[in-house]
């Protein structure tokens, strides 16, 4: 799964803030000083941005900046795991800016829709996530920019991952709606899906030959790995899925 996107700070979601050298006086499950600092920083950012977007000074900030600030509020709430607040602000961003024709604002709205879907996945609301992702794809498939093309491709990949994890037929997107670097990943998901039924040794070998130079630094396979470990399939099926996933990930990580 593509990690959460935000244009303002270009940070990725799900950052691990636990440090091995934290003070021994801190209880195992208590937040570290670093975590507390990050929390306070996010809360301060939220307060500052809310003041700006609720009483905008158009002589100081463009509409693009206001869209970004509104997005940042939702993103920060998500990082604090205040998911309902995050969803509320994402909805405000979408509602306020969805009809703007400026490409930079369209990019923000598309990114917000993608991040909204990620929140739904964290809440195990898979049908809601699929609904948002399909809306993103359908709304922006005919609008092109570097970021919008990325969001549409990410949406198609996320749809396929959710369908894989929820035993739905995997939707095959139009080839123009997948970035070239995502096509090998999509093939990987289809192989995993077929591994539910039978061994994929031949398909894996062919996939590895076609993709000898894969390396992804902006993608996380957490969803798939967690699903592979936690699913309730019968033992032979589960073993086959985990074996297939292990071989595929080893090929990517070895590049």
Residue 193 belongs to some domain of the structure: yes
Give the per-residue pLDDT at 19: 25
Report yes or no on 150 lying in a domain.
no
Length of the chain, in residues: 255
- The domain of 200 spans 186-255
Burial class of residue 142 in the structure, from the number of CB atoms within 10 Å of its CB (0-12 exposed, 13-18 middle, 19+ buried): exposed
Whole-number pLDDT of residue 13: 32
Q: Is residue 110 part of a domain?
A: no
Q: What is the mean pLDDT of residues 192-202?
A: 95
Beta strand segments in 106-188, E: none
Please give the model's pTM, rounded to 2 decimal places: 0.83
The pLDDT-based confidence of 45 (bands split at 50, 70, 90) is confident
Question: Which H or E run includes 51?
Answer: helix 33-54
**DSSP category for residue 59:** T
Q: What is the mean pLDDT of the chain?
A: 85
Is position 109 within any domain? no
Q: Give the separation between CA 143 and CA 49, rounded to whole angstroms.
A: 29
Q: Output the pLDDT for position 217.
A: 63
pLDDT at 253: 76
Q: Which residues contact 140 (CB under 8 A, 6 or more apart)?
A: 106, 110, 148, 151, 152
Bridge partners (DSSP) listed for residue 2: 219
8 A C-beta contact, residue 109 and residue 67:
yes
């Amino acid at each position: 799964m593509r990690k959460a996107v935000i244009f303002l700070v270009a940070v990725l979601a799900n950052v691990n803030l636990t440090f091995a050298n934290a003070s021994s006086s801190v209880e195992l499950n208590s937040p570290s000083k670093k975590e507390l600092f990050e929390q306070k920083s996010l809360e301060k950012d939220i307060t500052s941005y809310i003041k700006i977007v609720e009483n905008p000074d158009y002589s100081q900030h463009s509409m693009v900046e206001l869209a970004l600030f509104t997005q940042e509020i939702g993103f920060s709430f998500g990082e604090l795991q205040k998911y309902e607040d995050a969803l509320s602000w994402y909805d405000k961003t979408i509602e306020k800016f969805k009809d703007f024709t400026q490409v930079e604002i369209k990019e923000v709205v598309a990114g917000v829709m993608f991040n909204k879907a990620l929140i739904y996945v964290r809440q195990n609301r898979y049908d809601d996530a699929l609904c948002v992702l399909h809306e993103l794809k359908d709304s922006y498939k005919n609008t092109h920019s570097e970021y919008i093309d990325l969001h549409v491709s990410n949406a198609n990949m996320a749809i396929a991952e959710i369908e894989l994890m929820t035993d739905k037929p995997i939707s095959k997107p139009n080839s123009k709606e997948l970035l070239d670097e995502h096509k090998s990943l999509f093939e990987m998901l289809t192989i995993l899906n077929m591994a539910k039924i039978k061994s994929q040794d031949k398909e894996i070998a062919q996939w590895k030959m076609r993709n000898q130079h894969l390396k992804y630094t902006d993608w996380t396979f957490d969803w798939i790995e967690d699903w592979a470990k936690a699913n309730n399939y019968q033992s032979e099926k589960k073993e086959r899925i985990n074996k297939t996933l292990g071989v595929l990930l080893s090929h990517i990580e070895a590049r």
